[in-house]
Structures are given as structure tokens and as C-alpha cells.
Amino acid sequence: MTLLRRALALALLVPLALTAGCGGEDTSVGASDSETRTVVDVEGTSMQVPADPQRVVALSEPTLDGALALGVEPVGTISGRGQSEVPRYLSDLASDIALVGAVAQPDFEKIVALAPDLILVDGTSITNNPGAVEKLRKIAPTFYAGYAGADWRGTFASVAEALNRTSEGEQVVAAYDEQVAAARTELTSYDASTFSIVRWQGGAPSMILAELPAGMALSDLGLRRPPGQDRRGRGHSEPVSLENLSMVDADYLFFGTLGDDASKVLDDARKVPGFDDLTASRLDHVIPVDGSLWTSTGGPLLMSRLVDSVLEGLS
């Protein structure tokens, strides 16, 4: 069990009175439920939110991840990117949470039915849906926690602030930093190697660049990216044509896909001309990984599990 997961386990031992309402159907309001506090989201919007939110709706992978890491189980969330259920990398913690839409496609009627007292959004959940925040704010206080492509630490800190759990958030981040420091000591033999991250979808690859969580995790671990991937991009991933397949090459290649078994998709990828000529393929260094984990956005749980996945893949 990683340090972060131990911290999460402790967070989940918060007295039932703090969290039971977040996952159940009891909407009764006690005296403490009327207490509010003023918070300001990343867009500078000031709002009154419950001092102890009981019915949180998290409309993105980063806000769901952040809430769970803080011991808060939302009453509603969205399906994972390219998936029909909750993000697969969080299914052990979130499978019982009601779905209220998909990424950037909230179902307003379902959200209303859950009677939330706080809604968490970020740039990955509403950027391509103009007017969504205004509609959501007619339902409940809606806190914009971070922009698409922002550092997960900042978004997580905002989620912790909205949930009035800032000190707990600091402990979670500190646990992740300790986990990374321990992992780096196990990876010193890879200092001279390069590492590519590829999402293979629709018969072709896309590169996961530096600003997405998987790229941040490799950077935290001191693992070098090939020059073509050691940069920020525009959007969730950057498509690569099969004619330019060499752009995904490196000494090691983490190979993921969404909604399918990466090992099966890898078998198809190997049939593409030029794939077996890649350095990683020739050295048998192509590592199938969970695409939900490696190509999602998220928070500290995602980052911790990425570190575990790297260690497992290279063991």
C-alpha cells in the first residue's frame, strides 16, 4: 500500500456523519448544514458554499479524484473519458456513485434530481459546453476548480478549499511526494533511457505530452521523454499519422487505449507497417497499460496510481 493510499484510508475513516450524506439519499438538514463559508474559485467568482458539503456532484475526473482523495464520496459524477461508467481507474472507489452525464455533457435533469449542495467543475468538464456553468449555478453553488491542462496540484488545492479540507489536502500531496521520492530511488538505472506515452485509438497513435498527468508523473520520477514529446501540446493528446510513426519512438513505450484491452489493441498495432521497427518494439520494451489511468486527467489518486504503474511496468 502506497503512502498516498494510506493517507486516503485514514481520510475515509472520517466519522460517518461527515460523509454518509454524500453517498446516500437522506437529504435531511441539521443545524450544522446551514453553516456556510465564502470561497473564490479559479475564475475569481465568489460564492457561499456549505461549510461541510454533504451532497457533492463532481463533473470531471480531476474533481471526482480530488474529492475521493479527501474522503468525500460525491452523490453524482460523470463517466470516464471514452467509457460508459465511472473512470475505470477509480472504479474501486466510485462504482456506486450515480452517473449524471459524460465529460463535457452534464445531464442537468439528473443533477437536479440529486439535490446537490455543491457542484465541482473544471476546464475538462465544461470548456466545450458554453453556458453550462450558468445553468449549473441555478441548481447549486458551482465551483470552478481549475483549467484544462493546469497542474493537478493547483486543481486539487482548489477542490480541497471548496470542500473545506485544505489541511487534509496538504497531507495527501505530501504523501504523494514521499511516494515519488521512494520510487525515484528504484528507477536510477533508467536515467539514460527515454520514455514514450501513446494512446492508440482508431488504428493510430496519439502522443501524451508533458502537461497531462502521465507526462507529469514521468517528470516527477525523473524519467526522460523523447524530444518530440518533451513539450506541452494543445488538447488532450496529439495525433500522429502512421507515416510519422517514428515520432512515438523511445527506449520504452507505455501503450494505452480507452475502452479496450491494451494488450489486444497492441496486437493490432504490431500489424501496422513500421511499428516493429520502433526501438521500444525491437527491444521488447512496449508496455501495455490501463488507458483510463494513463490517458485520463485526474488528481492525486491518478498520480499515485501512475507511479505504481510505472514501477510495475518496469519491474
pLDDT at residue 95 greater than cutoff 60: yes
SS3 203: coil
Q: By C-alpha distance, which of 142, 175, 177, 171 is closest to 157?
A: 171
Do 216 and 161 belong to one domain?
Answer: no
Instruction: Report how far residue 64's alpha carbon sits from residue 77's, in angstroms, rounded to the nearest whole number.
Output: 7
Q: Clarify whether residues 143 and 238 are in a common domain.
A: no
pLDDT digits (tens, 9 = 90+) for 21-65: 344 333 333 334 579 999 999 999 999 999 999 999 999 999 999
What's the CA gap between 303 and 178, in Å, rounded? 12
| Model confidence at 266: pLDDT above 80 | yes
Residues 165 and 194 both lie in one domain: no
Domain presence at residue 108: yes
pLDDT score of 4 = 52
Strand pairing of 76-77 and 98-99? parallel
- 5 vs 270: CA distance, rounded Å: 36
Within a domain: 180: no
Q: Are residues 158 and 247 in the same domain?
A: no
Q: Is the pLDDT of residue 182 over 70?
A: yes
Do 13 and 155 reside in the same domain of the chain?
yes
| pLDDT score of 19 | 38
Residue scoring higher pLDDT (18 or 61): 61
Claim to verify: residue 11 and residue 160 sit in the same structural domain: yes
Task: Give the per-residue pLDDT at 286.
Answer: 98
Q: Per-residue pLDDT averaged across 243-252, rounded?
A: 94
Q: What is the pLDDT of residue 258?
A: 82
Range of the domain at 270: 187-314
Final residue before a domain boundary, out of 175, 204, 238: 175
Does 182 reside within a domain?
A: no
Query: Which of 175, 199, 229 finishes a domain?
Result: 175
Over residues 121-128, mean pLDDT: 84
> Which residues sit opposite 37 in a β-bridge?
49
Task: Give the pTM.
Answer: 0.87
H or E stretch at 278: none
Q: How does pLDDT run across 212-232, given as a tens digit for each residue?
A: 899 999 999 999 999 888 887
C-alpha cell at 233: 501540446
Residues 6+ apart with CB under 8 A from 125: 59, 60, 63, 78, 103, 104, 106
Whether residue 239 is found in the same domain as residue 284: yes
**Length of the chain counted residue by residue:** 315
Last residue of a domain, one of 127, 142, 175: 175
pLDDT at 101: 94
- In this prediction, residues 286-313 reach a mean pLDDT of 95
Nearest to 299, CA basis, from 172, 210, 171 = 172
Short-list 121, 25, 112, 105, CA closest to 66: 121
In a domain, 138, yes or no: yes
Count of domains observed in the chain: 2
CATH of residue 158: 3.40.50.1980
